[in-house]
Structures are given as structure tokens and as C-alpha cells.
Structure 1
Amino acid sequence: MADAKEILGLPKGVVHSVDKRPKPVKETPKKPDGVSREVYALTGGLPLVMPALDISNLKKRPPLDSDKISWQWLPFTSSARIDNLELYHWVKVVNGVRPTGDYAFAKYNKTVDVVQYTDEEYAKYLTDPNWTRHETDQLFDLCRQFDLRFIIIADRFTPSRSVEELKNRYYSAARAILLAKAPSPEEVSDHPLVKDHYNIIHEVERKRALATMLSQSRQQEREDAELLAEAKRITESRQNAKNVEETELPTTAPAAAPTNVEVEKSPAPAGSTSPSPIPQPQVPVSVPQTPSTAGISSVPSSPKLRAVLRTTILGQLMQASTSSSGARMGKRIDQTLQDLGVNVKPKVPTKLVCTEHLELRKDILAFLSLQKQVQWKESELSMLRENPYADFPPTPSTPKRSHRGDHERASMRALGGSDIDSFTGERIGKRDHKRKAPARFLDVPPSPPQGKRARKLKAPDS
């Protein structure tokens, strides 16, 4: 203390006033009863949020001199055994009193009540050409021995049979015996063997499906999940389209019942009798604008296409599309559809499905036309690299004008298009002009001038 005063330059005899207030005394918490000193020290003296044990429920240890406990090697028998086997084990004896009663673990022995049958009952109810009497007796003995554990039974059964065959034979035989012994079928109607009939076909299919599912790889599981998600999306879109169609029908249908009726039917094949025509009311059908069909402008929405049979609208529209593209191109479109895994003709030819099918055909036609143009351009480019001065025929972007032009334009109008080719942007019948590349683009020196221009360009001294 003196050294500190000397450093600070304070006189050693001066005593400064010091706060003489009494310091607070910390109260040491008392250790609660029932908690050991080590546990209380580890908790830091903090009270427990929830006590693990209720102190009032703790049993006090009795004095050691009150009871005399000993362990003795004593015999015992179990009611679960039928051979009255006597075994030994250590038993706790208190004050010389031995415990009495059945073996403690005998209550866990559960047995299956296997149905019994006589020779007369077997001959009357259990005769089966696929099973002999010896095999049936062996099956019931094994079921009684192994408590219907058919995996073990199939392992020990001779000759070898599948688990499903053993189950089917046992449950069908037991069910037949129960129904035969009962006074009336109503008394055993609640029995599990009678209530739940064993179906061997369902069991085999279930195990096969389970084995297939467990043997799938991660990639197959992802593909299945994507397929289910796509199916769910398609179902929801169809339901939404159906709801929109139901809401629009009252606005498009006429108020009064129609009096005129049109009959349209598909042509019957040769040698077959055509069915009686089905009358269809003259009601215009509107296609709902769903997210999947929005923006389709080539759908035939003419008032002439009223309520028709499903077999007629597809034939009419496909005939119009084939006549515009040609028979050869139609075959290529059909082959492309087969390569993509799409049916050439829809299985459910509704108006909405036919519309989407025709749109797909138009897209394939555009793709094939563009592919053909690309091939021509590539061939021209390769020939130009080999011979820059060669002349090339025009690229067949559009067909030449012929007597079929009017018929093709009518077909395009029927499909919702115009007489302008929607794939190339040019009018049908327009020819390409032959053009030669200028010399400045071919990297070739220009030819010298001729005639009067050459004389004017000569030097004066020449």
C-alpha cells in the first residue's frame, strides 16, 4: 500500500475516506434432500426445471435386520410344456418362504388352434386331385408344430411346394371343415378363416409387384415419380377443361330445343351392313380455351362442323391435311409419329384430341420442310466451296404452280390457315430467281473493262 502511495505521490500518513457500508452477504443455497452432493455440485447450485423423481414417492430402504433374503437353487415346471419337464433355477427366498405358482414366462406361450379332421370328413370335404392324404396330413402336422410359420413349413415340407400353395391348401381345408362342423353358417361367419378368404392369385401378384418395386434403381424411381406427376398434371388439366366446358355450355347452347336434325355417319366397310343413323341435334360445339389449347388458330371452327360422330370429324380433318401436304409427305409424317411413340390415329377421337393431333401433324410437316431446306443449303455450301463459279438450281422452298393450287388453298383454309404458306412465308407458286454471287463477294479479281470505257481510261501518251 505504501509503494502505491509513493508512486501516486500521496503522503503516507493521509487516510482517505473509504465507503464503510457493509458488504452484502451471499446466501448459500441449501442442498435439497434426495440429491447427492456430486449431482448438486455439477448443476452449479441451480434449481432443476423439472425434478426427475418425486421425493415423497421414494421408498426408504428397510433395515437390513428386518428381512432375511437368500437365493436357492430350486426346481420348477411350466404349464406351457406338455411333457412335465422339471428344470432348476435360482429363486429369491425371503424369510424362508419359497415362491409358489406357475412359471412366470408360461403366460407368453401362445399356440394356434389347428383344425382337426377325420377320415370321413377328409373323404367328404377335403378331396383334392392336386393333394394326397399323406401330403395333407404332413401339412397340418407341420402347421401345428411350427404355429403356421409357413416359411419354415415350406422349408421342411416334402415334396417341395411354394408358400402360396401351402397357405391356400391349409386355409381352404380349414375353412371347409369349420363350415361342415358348424350347425349353421351364421354361427361361424365372424371366424377369421370364414370371413377373410385367402386369394392365392392376389398374393402371387402382390409379391411379384413388391419384388419389382424393391429391385428398382434410383433412376427408375425418379422416372416413376415424374410419370406420376405428369399423369396428375394431365388429370388436373382435363378436369379444368371439363369445368370450363360445363360453364360455357349454357351460353353457347340455344334457349329453345332445335327442330332440325342432321345425321352424319362414317362410311361402312364393304360387305358389312351399316347401322341405323344416329340423329345428332344441330347445336354448335365450342372448344374451351384451356392453357394447353390457347393460341390455336388453325382449328376448324366453321359453323358447318356441328355435333358429329367421333369417327367422322377425324377422317374429314385428316383428309384435308393429307391433300395439302401430299401422300408421300403424309407417309413421312406417319412414320415420324410412330418413331415418337404416338398413335397415327387417336384412340379417343374427340374434337379436342383431334385438334391437338392435327396441330402435331402441322408441326411435323413444318419440321420436315425446314429439314429439307437445310439439306439443300448445306449441299449448295459444299459445292460453292469446291467450285465458286458454279450455277445452282433454286432451292425448292415451295412447290410450283399447278392445277392443284386452288384445291390446296381450300384445304389450308379448312385447316384454319390462309393461301400463304405458313412455313416459308411465301405465296404458293412463287419461284425463286437465279442469282449469281457478285465478284466482290467471291474474292476474284474483276475482269478488265471493254469498249469505249477502256479507251477513255487509257493514258494520254499512249
Structure 2
Amino acid sequence: KVDILTYTDAEYSEHLLCDGWTRTETDTLFDLCSRFDLRWPVILDRWPHTSRSMEDLKERYYNVTNTLKKIGNISGPEGKIINYDADHERRRKQQLIKLWERTPKQIEEEQQLINELRKIEARKKEREKKTQDLQKLISADADARKATKTTKKKLPQTKITKTDTLPPSMESCTGIKFPDVKTTGVSLRSQRMKLPVSVGQKKIKAVEQLLTELNLELNPMAVEEVCQLFNDLRSDLVLMYDLRTILLNYVFELQTLKHQCENVMPEKVLEIPESLTINTGEESPNRPRAISEMIDAVATPSTPNRKRKAALEQSNVLKKIKART
């Protein structure tokens, strides 16, 4: 049995008056709550007065009960104030009704939007991971350059010290990690110039094309000085290739954010500063091409189109999601 609070005539006239409720309706409500132990569907079914929703009945009951608890100084669990939000309950039921009345076509479309949203989130996580890798790569490259300058100061200028591998600080942060050639007996110095398998065929092909663009031999004479410098050059080319790829991802992400912002605020036109765009060198075709432009030339030509298409698809998905909400 649920304990229902009661009120006197003086308490009602002083604290419980309400513009939308009469004394008779309030008395009937509390009588039904006492008879049916707050079973609200039954109370709503037995309600004899003007048409009211279940939320209206609950709101009036809890407002009166909370007021009686405050003026009566009721302590303990019985004196706990219950905050009932009738507007929230109405919106919640409306959303449930809309959810229940969906057609099979709407359910299928919603599932497609959810799948597209998951793909967008996966691409976002991938870009964030590449951003972290870029930060590590930039920091490692800066430390490597400092270590190289320190090593060069210690070496005599007239003779190059023989070394089989790069310094330890360079091995962990350069573009290519050349393995140590440790064999018994006689070995060829040209073995030190072989690219490791971990570089990958795509990067190896890009390095070969860049060397051709620079008018350099793909397999130079493996003398002591050339061997070391040639390995350093190819390592720097791979490092620049990776940095250029990450830069393109940054530009793609910037363009995506621009499209998303324009979808939210159509009246506002956003312009990306020239300092944040990639210079392709098309304004001066006769000047010598920079290394970054050569890297763009050897990159996969379909990549920009694919990314632009992905950006448009992502923009359309976000529009649909926004329209449904």
C-alpha cells in the first residue's frame, strides 16, 4: 500500500492553489492515487473530469506532494523531493511514437546513415593517428639534425671516418633504416646500398623516379663517401615523401572541415589562407621544380580525386543526418 499525503482546507488555500486545477479535480486525483496505488494507466482511465494527459496528472500530483513535504518538514526517505519533468516526458513519448511509426524504407535509410557515420569516424581516427605519427616524425627529424651537426663537428675535415651504419640517434628517426652488413670474410660495399624490404615497393619506385628527376644514377659507384651520402639522400627522400603524404592528409582534412562549416552556416563563406594551401608551382612553369613538386609528380594521380569524392560523400551524409535530427 502506497502512503498518499493528505492536506487540509487551510493548506490548500494557502499553498496548493493552481490556475489550471480546481479543488474538486485535485481531490479526485488524490482519491484515485490512494485507491489505485499510483498505477497511472488505471488512474488515467478512471479520470472523470476534463481530458488530461498522464503527464498533467503526474505533474499536479508531484507538485502538491513536494509542497506538502516542504511545509510539513518531513524528513527521511518519505521527505525526498521528486522532480518530475512533464515536458521531458512528453518529448520522450513523442520520440518513441515516431520511432515506432517508421517505415521499412526509413529504417533502411537510417541504417545506411549509421554505417556511413561509422566510416567517417573510422577515417577521422585514422587521420588523428597519422597526425600523431607526423608529430613524432617532425620531433625525431629535428633531433636527428642536431645529432648530425654534433657528429660532423667531431669528425676531422680531411678524412671521412669509416662507418657501416648511421648513428644510433639517426637509426630510429630517419626515413630508411639500413641494416648492418655483418658477414664473415669479404663483402661488397654495394650491399650497404641495397634498400631494405621494409621500405615497400611503392616508396622504392618513388625514390627511383625522384633520383631520375634529379639526374642521378640509380646505382652509383659504391665508394666510401658516395655510399654513405647516397644512403642519406635516399633516406631524406623517403622522409620527405612521408611528410608530403601527411601534408596532403592535412589539406584534405582542412577542406573537409571547411565544407562541414559551410553546411552549418551557408551564409558564411570561408577562405583558406594561401599560407595553408599547397603550392604546386603552376604559376611559373619555366622555373626548376622543387623536390616537393617532384614528389607530387610521382604520387598516385587518382589520390586527390578519390579524396575529393570522399569529402563530398561525407558532406552529403552529414547533411542527411542533420536533416533527420
Relative to its length, the structure with more helix (as a share) is: 2
Larger Rg: 1
Relative to its length, the structure with more strand (as a share) is: 1
Task: Name the structure, 1 or 2, with higher relative contact order (CA <8 Å, separation 6+).
Answer: 2
TM-score (norm 1): 0.32
TM-score (norm 2): 0.44
